[in-house]
Amino acid sequence: MNKRNRVMEIFYRFMSGEHMAVKDLAAEYEVSEKSIQRDISEIKNFMAEYGYSVGREEVKFDRSSQKMYFEAEKFLTNGEMLAITKILIATRTLPQDKMNQLVEKLEGFASTKDKKRLKELVKRELYHYKPVATLCNDLIDNLYALAEAIDDKQEITITYYKMDKSRIDRRIRPLAIVFSEYYFYLIAVHEVDDEWKERYYRIDRITDMIKHRTRFEVEYDSRFDEGKLKNEIQYMWPGKEQQIEFEFTGPSVQAILDRIPKSKVIKREKDKVTIQATVVHGTGIKMTLLSQGSWVKVLSPQSFAEEMKEEVEKMMERYR
């Protein structure tokens, strides 16, 4: 092997996460240790000049093992890759083949010796993985096509299947994409009687899309804030913003605060707390509070407390 190929191979091995000692490399490539040191100097010089563009910082030396390695501050650590992979699998949003492909790509960032460990840590979850049902041919392609239309402020016509499986073809202005409880949603507006109405569409139910030449403008102060929406809405059920208060007697106050991001404890008593929250009023927040069973009692507004009572009474009727 000539010097150029040797340097490239050593560089690739560093990029793959290997820890290597000069003497071991010299023996492996049948050259002197000085030759290997010169090779590594060339790699260091390259990293100093182009390190930012390749995403690596520098070659470092581990005194305990007497080996060199690449510091990878701009790349994912093994722990970060494991966390992302676990979160990705937990979404259940992608078909099995797409999920396998993405997980395999993430594992590709790991070093040779750590790749096997990462595979072992997620293989049982992948084996038992159950994706949610989708109608579109390729969810990822749908996502990106919609993202382009949002960025280009381009009107589109979508073919969409509603919850009752009825089909609609609708011309809309796409505004944002959010993810919630297993599904990606498109936030868009469409014209009804000369007024633009906001609607949510599950992206996996969009089976076709036509992009039009028509562009639209969004005033800076009127831009859709998906972050604000995510903090207030539950299960992507639309409605108006509302402030509520409720008592909570469950074992984990933090769990309910985490479930409703814009919430806080305003009163603590021996066996209960009172929580105030800003939410999107509607079916979503009712589903969240009802999921806590008898641990929750809505205090205000009175109209919402009455809605909750009616819902509980309907539930009781089903058991009579």
CA distance 36 to 10: 9
CA distance 291 to 296: 9
CATH number, domain of 161, equals: 2.30.30
Q: Give the count of beta carbons closer than 10 Å to the beta carbon of residue 30.
A: 8
Asked if residue 245 belongs to a domain, the reply is yes
160 plus 190 within the same structural domain: yes
Residue type at position 284: G
CA distance 237 to 220: 26
Strand-strand pairing, 59-62 and 67-70: antiparallel
Q: Among 32, 49, 70, where does a domain finish?
A: 70
CA distance 144 to 56: 28
Q: Tell me what pLDDT residue 233 has.
A: 83
147 plus 107 within the same structural domain: no
CATH number, domain of 46, equals: 1.10.10
Which residue, among 247, 229, 225, 237, has the nearest Cα to 305 in the 3D structure? 247
146 plus 114 within the same structural domain: no
Encoding tokens for residue 41? 């100097």
Burial of 18 (0-12, 13-18, 19+ CB in 10 A): middle
**What's the chain's Rg over C-alpha atoms?**
27
Number of domains in the chain: 4
DSSP assignment of 173-217 equals: EEEEEEEETTEEEEEEEEEETTEEEEEEEEGGGEEEEEEEEEE--
CA distance 184 to 174: 14
Q: Tell me what pLDDT residue 18 has.
A: 79
Which residue, among 264, 308, 314, has the nearest Cα to 287 in the 3D structure? 308
Asked if residue 161 belongs to a domain, the reply is yes
Q: Which residue has the tokens 């009023």?
A: 281
193-211 in b/e burial notation, b at 16+ Cβ within 10 A?
eeeeeebbbbbbbbeebee
Instruction: From first to last of the 320 residues of the chain, give the pLDDT tens digit.
Output: 888 899 999 888 887 777 888 889 999 999 999 999 999 888 888 877 776 555 556 677 777 777 877 766 666 777 888 899 999 999 999 999 999 999 988 887 776 667 788 888 999 999 999 999 999 999 999 999 999 999 999 999 999 999 999 999 999 999 999 998 899 999 999 988 888 888 999 999 999 999 999 999 877 556 778 888 888 888 888 888 999 999 999 999 999 999 999 999 999 998 999 999 999 998 999 999 999 999 999 999 999 999 999 999 999 999 98
Give the domain extent around 118: 78-127
Q: Tell me what pLDDT residue 234 has.
A: 84
CATH number, domain of 306, equals: 3.30.70
Asked if residue 133 belongs to a domain, the reply is no
Max CA separation in the chain (angstroms): 87
Encoding tokens for residue 320? 């009579």
313 plus 288 within the same structural domain: yes
